[in-house]
Amino acid sequence: MKKLHFVMIVALAAVGGCFGNPVTYRDQPLVAKVQTGMTKQQVIEIGGEPAMTLTRKAQPGSCYEYLFTHAGERQPYMVSFDANDNVDHKDFRTCAFWDEYQENAKVPFYMDPGYGK
């Protein structure tokens, strides 16, 4: 598990130069107005159609992924929905990252084969 965290941190640091500053986008309607509990339709009314839609693997539900651009920089933004199609999370990361994070969160630390290494 510690190796996985290290690899993820290095990968995010390397990719970090490709993405913009989340503070730049905090006033975007999608970021400022979407709240936990909203429906997919409400999210689309605020932010438009997503660039990508993914079915979550770790937990039942789906995820909308948007891509903001500003001054040549790109910033992913995701809105995650539970099994009832209501917003349960939003973040300046990708849907794939969030799904993997949720999957890893399911494994108790003492059952992780890499624990203590």
More confident residue, 3 or 96: 96
Strand 62-70 to 73-81 pairing? antiparallel
Token pair, residue 14, equals 């390397």
More confident residue, 62 or 7: 62
Predicted local distance difference test score (pLDDT) of residue 73: 87
User: pTM higher than 0.85 for the full model?
Assistant: no
Query: Within 10 Å of residue 67's Cβ, how many Cβ atoms?
Result: 13
What's the CATH number of domain 20-108, 3.20.20.190, 3.40.50.2300, 3.20.20.60, 3.30.1450.10?
A: 3.30.1450.10
Whether residue 72 contacts residue 21, with contact meaning beta carbons closer than 8 Å, is answered with: no
Question: One-letter amino acid identity for 45?
Answer: E
Query: Within 10 Å of residue 109's Cβ, how many Cβ atoms?
Result: 9
SS3 83: coil
SS3 87: strand
